[in-house]
Every structure is written in structure tokens, then in C-alpha cells.
């Protein structure tokens, strides 16, 4: 039987937080989330901050940076499939773990494959590996005999106001919407979702 806690101090606070997270483990498994202790305020009592994170298919808990990567996918332009994939940066290999919209100079959160340490990286390796230019290069057609390069497939352009489209929302999913007009930012479009929400997105296609 566990010894009763009679005073709140650093030792008992650690004991409490560990015990609470352990007790929540069964509930988390049932709901598909992982509970983590994220600090607290200690005084006459202990106010704990408990985080509930989505559990990914590989069993890892969703981090705030992974969630931000999905939420801002239309802003940073890197496909969702890149999250969790390896890429070169300098002479090292990293795994892309997330995006930090508050750090424009070092927006990418990545794990060093060799050491397991987390790093903040500049755009460099991520965009060279997963960015639009990389995708275009991978899909480029080889020159035909005689040195002529076949014409690339023409991109779909010229959406009309009121046209039915499928547009990407913050969660990375595509939903039905009505096209409104080109956005202020280059490459963006304003759409109106079926629930009445107006939104700016970079990713859309005809419904």
C-alpha cells in the first residue's frame, strides 16, 4: 500500500505526477490518446498540467510540432506524407518530426537518426527533399530522342466564382466548398465551405 502524502514538496510532487499519469494510462488506451505531465504550480497544493495527445499509427504520441505541421500544411507547402520520413541535412540524416510556425528561421523540428536528439533546422534539406521543386524534379520527363523535352502536363487553372471544388482545411483533409476568388497571397485561393466558413487554401481541385 502506498504511503499517504502529508506535504507537497518537490519529491512528493514528482511522486504525484508519476502516479496520476500511470493511472490515466488505461483510460488513454481506451480513448486512443497518451497522457503526459507538462509541469505544474506547487504551493499548499499541486496544480498539474496534463496533456492528452493523439496516438499515431506507429504508436508514438502526437507532439505539438507534428500537429502544427498538419495544421499549417498549406502554408509551408510540404506534403503530409513527409512527416516521419528521413531526409539529408548537411552530412547527416534526420527524420522530419514537425513544424514550428513561431520560428521562421528554424521552422523544422527533426530527429537526428544517429543520436535520437531533436534539432531545429532551417528550410534547406527539408525543402530540397520534399518541397514542390523536388517533387517537380522527381516527376520530370526525360528528354526524347533528339534532345527535345516533352511538354509537361498543363496545371489546372482558371477556377470560376461559385464553382464546386474540394479544398484542404487545417486538419489536412479535403472538403467540399465553393470557389470565391484568388487569395491575396500568391498561390492561395479563397473558398467557402458548406458550413459557411470562408478560408484561404493553396490546395484545391474540382469536385
**Hey, what CATH topology would domain 164-206 get?**
SH3 type barrels. (2.30.30)
Q: Which helix (H) or strand (E) holds 136?
A: helix 132-138
Confidence tier at 159 by pLDDT (50, 70, 90): confident
Residues 174-196 pLDDT 10s? 889 999 888 766 677 888 888 88
Q: What pLDDT does residue 113 have?
A: 92
What is the spatial distance between Cα 26 and Cα 31, in angstroms, rounded to a whole number? 9
Residues 2-43 pLDDT 10s? 688 899 999 999 999 999 999 998 998 899 888 888 888 998
What is the spatial distance between Cα 63 and Cα 79, in angstroms, rounded to a whole number? 18
- Quote the pTM value: 0.48
Residues pairing with 158 in the sheet: none
- Degrees, nearest 5: CA angle 134-94-133: 10
Q: Is the pLDDT of residue 155 over 70?
A: no
Q: Is the pLDDT of residue 58 over 90?
A: no
* 3-state secondary structure (DSSP) of residue 180: strand
Quickly tell me which residue has 528550410 as its cell: 123
Averaged pLDDT, 81-105? 89
Q: Is the pLDDT of residue 153 over 70?
A: no
Q: Which helix (H) or strand (E) holds 166?
A: strand 164-168
Q: Are 176 and 194 in contact (CB under 8 A)?
A: yes
Q: Where do the domains of the chain lie?
A: 10-54, 64-138, 164-206
Q: What pLDDT does residue 133 have?
A: 61
Amino acid at each position: 500500500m502506498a504511503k499517504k502524502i502529508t506535504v507537497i514538496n518537490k519529491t512528493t510532487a514528482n511522486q504525484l505526477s508519476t502516479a496520476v499519469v500511470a493511472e490515466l494510462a488505461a483510460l488513454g488506451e481506451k480513448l486512443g490518446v497518451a497522457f503526459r505531465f507538462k509541469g505544474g504550480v506547487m504551493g499548499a497544493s499541486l496544480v498539474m498540467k496534463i496533456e492528452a495527445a493523439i496516438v499515431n499509427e506507429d504508436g508514438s504520441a502526437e507532439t505539438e510540432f507534428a500537429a502544427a505541421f498538419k495544421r499549417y500544411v498549406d502554408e509551408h507547402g510540404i506534403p503530409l506524407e513527409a512527416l516521419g520520413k528521413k531526409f539529408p541535412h548537411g552530412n547527416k540524416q534526420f527524420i522530419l518530426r514537425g513544424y514550428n510556425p513561431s520560428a521562421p528561421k528554424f521552422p523544422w523540428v527533426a530527429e537526428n537518426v544517429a543520436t535520437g536528439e531533436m534539432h531545429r533546422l532551417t528550410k534547406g534539406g527539408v525543402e530540397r527533399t520534399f518541397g514542390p521543386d523536388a517533387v517537380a524534379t522527381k516527376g520530370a520527363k526525360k528528354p526524347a530522342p533528339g534532345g527535345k523535352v516533352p511538354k509537361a502536363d498543363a496545371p489546372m487553372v482558371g477556377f470560376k466564382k461559385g464553382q464546386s471544388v474540394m479544398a484542404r482545411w487545417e486538419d489536412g483533409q479535403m472538403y467540399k466548398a465553393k470557389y470565391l476568388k484568388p487569395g491575396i497571397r500568391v498561390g492561395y485561393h479563397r473558398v467557402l465551405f458548406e458550413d459557411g466558413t470562408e478560408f484561404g487554401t493553396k490546395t484545391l481541385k474540382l469536385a
